[in-house]
Chain A
């Protein structure tokens, strides 16, 4: 397929049929093929077999039987979810948390990167970067531990608010559904702000200094340079990351919510992924929870396609 002397060497110019030379070429690269096929086999087992397993969403599968022997259920499980009492608040929580994260958590790292980019001392800039992405490497279990410590009745927040006389009674933040979304969104930003900014900073490092000099000569201030030079230069990166963020919008961070939820904040914390876990793994309703999960995946895919086509039209960048 490729040309050059490298290819001539591995492929002697034998004039036989096309199939024969392909087979010979295959034999020559048998080591390479073995390596590649190991990957294909792994993907078939760990990705494609579960995809086939989605069939149980359309069947009455029980733990003893096999997927192929289970009787068909049609769309019964999907209908059951739509008619479930929990349906609306699960959808509301999933979308609400995700949209908040997108609306606040997506632009903030860009703003942070813009301002970090204006720091003159390279050393100071590097130190801030190193510190700001530290939380990314901590697990949600650890952060859950920190948050429950801080937000407890006897925790730091309550201690301070009581000491300052802003409240009379300690507030049980994690037991109060109305606080849950705020806690989830802000702790997510706290964890990922620095990490998400890396990619923008790297893109900004590629902007030519000529552009800034020209802008300076034209009398642009720092904010104007950010707005008219830096921001347009990283537009492509922003678009790609935006598409990815939208496509992941329904994944309202399972790990995080699993750690922070409890029976008291359930009305604000139950999202699709948590529901699938509860109903599927804990209650063993395999077919039903697979149907719920599938519904979510289909919606996520549609969102990805919409975001992709919108940015393609607006910005001329797209994933595919």
Chain B
């Protein structure tokens, strides 16, 4: 359509202004992140003087050395990686499995099951009753507190169901004739053909697991089990970044400051997400659409 038309002067001005406007938004979005990155690569003591806007003034990897030499940070990183990987696999598999059962029209009690789930979208016990439940289940100070209470989400189930309903029935028929049971059909046929929606939910839940600091903050006292975000929270919000300095071993040169270690930790914590999401983004627009329209 555009090819057949001539652009008027007004249109050209509109396009120009619009492009500039979009570039400004991009700049505003990216610059704060860039600022952190640049300052984390600058020598800490020098960075204190300020004025580092575009490029490191005195380049140094000291802050990163301090981060990677800090046992507390590394333990927290390990916990985060473990909970993100295990949590995401368990969440996706369990939620998809239930969604598959719910999506089958012949399932007896389907309406009741859906009602039970829908109610959970609108009502909840709130913070204290949930805390008491976690306590009574013996999940306080346990790694499983990251996995089990997060292994299912009814909202994600709706997204899965919308996808499963579109699958052709013939797919299941063939497996059934071969003698597979429903669980086998789900594992060997349905799950492998559902990669777009699996990727979407895995990304959402993976990001949730990676970013969650609250679970670590209220249910975990043992610092060996705290995730990196909780560690950072304690440093950022309680502005006790001197702890970080104190925890960094003596190999670190004087030029590293608590502020520069904080920035380097932020970069290290963010990097995995920034690296992963461009690969998965083609999937999640569709997933998000389904989720919000049918939800």
Binding site for B on A (CB under 8 A): 1-2, 4, 6-7, 9-11, 22, 25-26, 29, 31-36, 38-40, 42-54, 56, 67, 112, 115-116, 118-120, 124, 127-128, 130-132, 134-135, 137-142, 144-146, 148-150, 154, 156, 159, 190, 193-194, 198-199, 202, 209, 212-213, 216, 221-222, 237, 240-241, 244, 254-255, 258-262, 273, 276-277, 280-281, 286, 289-290, 293-294, 297, 301, 304
Q: How far is the CA of A169 from the CA of B131 in the complex (A)?
A: 45
Q: What are 6 residue pairs bridging A and B, where the CB atoms are less than 8 Å apart in the complex?
A: A29-B182, A137-B277, A139-B211, A141-B236, A146-B33, A159-B51
A138 and B270 contact, CB distance less than 8 A: yes
Q: How far is the CA of A34 from the CA of B107 in the complex (A)?
A: 11
A135 and B29 contact, CB distance less than 8 A: yes
Main secondary structure of the interface of A (DSSP, over half): helix
User: Given that A42-B152, A132-B29, A293-B127 are known contacts, is A304 also in contact with B101, CB under 8 Å in the complex?
Assistant: no
Query: Which residues of chain B are near A1, meaning CB under 8 Å?
Result: 105-106
Q: Is B30 an interface residue (CB 8 A)?
A: yes
Q: How far is the CA of A53 from the CA of B10 in the complex (A)?
A: 63
User: Given that A29-B107, A36-B107, A154-B48 are known contacts, is A53 also in contact with B128, CB under 8 Å in the complex?
Assistant: yes
User: Given that A25-B108, A32-B107, A54-B129 are known contacts, is A159 also in contact with B50, CB under 8 Å in the complex?
Assistant: yes
B113 and A39 contact, CB distance less than 8 A: yes
User: Given that A29-B106, A212-B1 are known contacts, is A290 also in contact with B126, CB under 8 Å in the complex?
Assistant: yes
Q: How far is the CA of A277 from the CA of B32 in the complex (A)?
A: 30
- B interface residue count range (under 10 / 10 to 19 / 20 to 34 / 35 or more): 35 or more
Closest to B122 in A: A301
A222 and B288 contact, CB distance less than 8 A: no
**With contacts A47-B119, A131-B30, A255-B213 known, what are 16 further pairs, Cβ within 8 A?**
A29-B182, A39-B117, A42-B151, A54-B126, A120-B2, A127-B26, A145-B266, A146-B266, A194-B29, A199-B289, A213-B1, A258-B237, A277-B218, A280-B127, A289-B127, A304-B122
Instruction: Choose one: A26, A47, A139; the contact of B124 (CB below 8 Å).
Output: A47
Q: How far is the CA of A251 from the CA of B122 in the complex (A)?
A: 13
Within 8 A of A (CB), among B76-122: 94, 97-98, 100-102, 104-109, 113, 116-117, 119-120, 122
Query: Which residues of chain B are near A202, meaning CB under 8 Å?
Result: 285, 288-289
Kindly name the residue among A33, A36, A159 whose own CB sees the greatest number of chain B CB atoms within 10 A. Answer: A36
Query: Which residues of chain B are near A112, meaning CB under 8 Å?
Result: 25
User: Given that A42-B152, A50-B130, A51-B123 are known contacts, is A36 also in contact with B102, CB under 8 Å in the complex?
Assistant: yes
